Amino acid sequence: MAVENRFVVIRHGVEVQTFMEKKAADEYDKMLDMADNLTEMLKSVPFELSDNIKEELSIYLAKNREDVLIALQAKKAKAPSAAVKEAAPKATVKAATKETSKEKVAEKTKKKSAAVKEEV
C-alpha cells in the first residue's frame, strides 16, 4: 500500500489546487491572499472595473509581486551574476515575451476602461 502526502489549498470551502509539497501550497495560498487583498483595494478605484477584470488584475499583480515591488521602487532589482550573464540570450527572450504579455494586459485594461467610460 502506498501512502502519499498531499497539500490542498482550500478557498471559501472549495478545493482550489493540490500540491505534493507544503512549500508550494503555502506559496500559492499566500499569492491568493495577496490577490484577495488587491481585489479589495481595487474596489475603491475612482473608475469602473468589472469584477472579472479586478480579479484577473489582482491575480496578475500577486503572481508578479517581485516585478511590482521593483516598479514601485520598494525593492531593488537583483544585480546580474556571472551565471545570469552567460544565460543572457535566454533571459532576453523571456524578458521580451514577458514584456509582450504585460503590454497585452495593459492594452486589454485600457480597452475595457475606455468601454466603461463610454458607457458612463
Between CA 115 and CA 118 the distance in angstroms is 5
The whole-angstrom separation of Cα 72 and Cα 59 is 17
Q: Is the CATH code 1.10.10 the one for domain 1-77?
A: yes
The residues near 119 (Cβ < 8 Å, ≥ 6 apart) are 48
Helix (H) / strand (E) containing 89: helix 88-119
Supply the pLDDT for residue 98: 53
Q: What share of the chain is helix, strand, coil (3-state, %, to 5)?
A: 65, 10, 25
**Residue boundaries of the structural domains of the chain:** 1-77, 80-120
CA 103 to chain centre: 14
pLDDT per residue over 37-85, tens digit each?
999 999 998 989 899 999 999 999 999 999 999 998 888 888 776 555 5
